[in-house]
């Protein structure tokens, strides 16, 4: 039965300084809170992240395109906005939900408050709600659509928008529009083609720090054009949305994997590679989002704590045996977290070895990619 959950922070709305707003879920549950960021109304898919640090990296991660993100950690914004820590040029999420937003940040690198940044980016948010209870609802019932609005009662048009909302064309919206080159840090040792499906900036940073000059390609690039570029390896990045809807991109990935160069896929790149080799993907009930997800390396008897952000996963049982094998699994639910391919010179992981934010346990995978290029 739908329920109304009142403002958990008990904020006083005197003098109109605090605007009362509501989060209404597709389940009918209503949360009362106060407005943060831009004014207005927004509809999106409500998801939660358990990350305790790195809120700036979270909101600038293009993989959150089309989603309303809930931070389970209660105090957000205490170090303000630090531009050099951003993972992209802006915010792509549809809305932002926190328990308490810090109004007066303190950090020697701070360039402004999170509230002001949300407003500048046109992001609508809500604070003062019980984010733990909201998270419990999403965890138990699965991700669902939600709307942040000024009234606890929806109009017919709002109900229709809430029911019909879906994330479409996410990769095409977040990918770069034209190619560009990122120089290596120090001596140039390798040339890497990076296909941008909504890439996080730290993937580039990890590669250039290892002597890679990167040419970044839009998701619309054809495999033939990339393969004739004289590169030493190919990086397929993270990105948002349902991987199976990217039919053109999957076909190009299939050709890239058959091209003979070392290929490394992360997150969406991992999913596209699996789909290109005949596997299937499934939507998870509430996804894996946060900086504390355990990934077990198959056959190594070792678990790594990883940063993750995905709502879909590869069904490891559907991967043809002659194509490759599952290399990592999630220690919580057993889902596929990585694949080593035997049909070509390629490997991939579902989690984020580049972190930002999150643990650095699996940065060695970038070194593994370097080794493959050295052996080429």
The catalytic residues are 267, 352, 354
At residue 13, the pLDDT reads 43
Residue limits of CATH 3.40.50.880 in the chain: 171-375
CATH domain 171-375 topology: Rossmann fold (3.40.50)
Exposure on the CB side of residue 51, measured as CA atoms within 13 A: 27
Residue found by looking up tokens 């106060």 in the block: 34
As a whole number of angstroms, the distance between CA 95 and CA 148 comes to 8
Tokens of 18: 């605090």
pLDDT at 369 over 90: yes
pLDDT per residue as tens digits for the range 199-255: 999 999 999 999 999 999 999 999 999 999 999 999 999 999 999 999 999 999 999
Nearest of 128, 136, 147, 156 to residue 30 by alpha carbon: 147
pLDDT per residue as tens digits for the range 301-316: 899 999 999 999 999 9
Beta bridge partners of 228: none
As a whole number of angstroms, the distance between CA 238 and CA 46 comes to 20
pLDDT per residue as tens digits for the range 334-353: 999 999 999 999 999 999 99
Residues 206-216, buried b or exposed e (16+ Cβ, 10 A)?
bbbebebbbbb
16 confidence band (pLDDT: 50, 70, 90): very low
pLDDT at 15 over 90: no
Residue limits of CATH 3.50.30.20 in the chain: 4-167
pLDDT at 109 over 50: yes
At residue 5, the pLDDT reads 62
Q: Which of 7-21, 72-86, 104-118 has the lowest mean pLDDT?
A: 7-21
pLDDT per residue as tens digits for the range 131-178: 999 999 999 999 999 999 999 999 999 999 999 999 999 999 999 999
Q: What is the pTM of this model?
A: 0.94
Nearest of 144, 147, 69 to residue 114 by alpha carbon: 69
**pLDDT > 70: percent of the chain:** 95
CATH domain 4-167 topology: Glucose Oxidase; domain 1 (3.50.30)
- E strand or H helix that includes residue 133: helix 131-141
Q: What is the number of other CB atoms lying within 10 angstroms of the CB of residue 71?
A: 26
At residue 8, the pLDDT reads 56
pLDDT at 106 over 70: yes
Tokens of 308: 């993750």
At residue 11, the pLDDT reads 47
82 confidence band (pLDDT: 50, 70, 90): very high
6 confidence band (pLDDT: 50, 70, 90): low
At residue 376, the pLDDT reads 72
- Quick check: 338 and 326 in contact, CB under 8 A? yes
Mean pLDDT of all residues belonging to the chain: 95
Question: What are the residues whose beta carbons fall under 8 Å from the beta carbon of 106, sequence distance 6 or more?
Answer: 78, 79, 80
As a whole number of angstroms, the distance between CA 111 and CA 146 comes to 31
Beta bridge partners of 22: 32, 149
């Amino acid at each position: 039965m739908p329920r109304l959950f009142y403002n958990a922070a008990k904020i006083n709305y005197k003098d109109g300084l605090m605007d009362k707003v509501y989060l209404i879920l597709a389940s009918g549950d209503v949360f009362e809170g106060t407005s943060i960021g831009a004014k207005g109304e927004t509809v999106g898919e409500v998801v939660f992240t358990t990350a305790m640090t790195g809120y700036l990296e979270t909101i600038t991660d293009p993989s959150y395109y089309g989603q309303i993100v809930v931070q389970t950690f209660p105090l957000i914004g205490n170090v303000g906005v630090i531009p050099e820590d951003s993972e992209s040029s802006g915010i792509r999420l549809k809305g932002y939900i926190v328990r308490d937003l810090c109004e007066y940040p303190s950090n020697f690198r701070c360039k402004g408050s999170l509230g002001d940044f949300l407003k500048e980016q046109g992001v609508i948010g809500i604070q003062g709600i019980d984010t733990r209870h909201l998270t419990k609802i999403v965890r138990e019932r699965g991700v669902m659509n939600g709307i942040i609005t000024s009234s606890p009662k929806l109009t017919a048009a709002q109900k229709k928008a809430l029911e019909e909302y879906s994330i479409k064309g996410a990769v095409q919206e977040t990918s770069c529009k034209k190619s560009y080159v990122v120089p290596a840090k120090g001596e140039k040792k390798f040339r890497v083609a990076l296909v941008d499906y909504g890439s996080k900036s730290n993937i580039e940073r990890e590669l250039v720090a290892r002597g890679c000059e990167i040419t970044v390609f839009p998701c619309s690039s054809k495999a033939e054009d990339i393969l004739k570029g004289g590169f030493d390896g190919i990086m397929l990045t993270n990105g948002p949305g349902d991987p199976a809807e990217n039919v053109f991109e999957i076909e190009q990935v299939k050709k890239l994997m058959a091209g003979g160069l070392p290929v490394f896929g992360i997150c969406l790149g991992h999913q596209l590679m699996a789909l290109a080799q005949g596997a299937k993907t499934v939507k998870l009930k509430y996804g894996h989002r946060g900086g504390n997800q355990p990934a077990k390396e198959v056959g190594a008897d070792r678990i790594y704590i990883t940063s993750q952000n995905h709502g879909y996963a590869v069904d490891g049982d559907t991967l043809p045996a002659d194509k490759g094998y599952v290399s990592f699994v999630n220690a919580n639910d057993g889902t596929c977290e990585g694949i080593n391919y035997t049909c070509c010179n390629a490997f991939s992981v579902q989690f984020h070895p580049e972190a930002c934010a999150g643990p650095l346990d699996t940065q060695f995978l970038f070194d593994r990619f370097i080794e493959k290029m050295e052996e080429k």
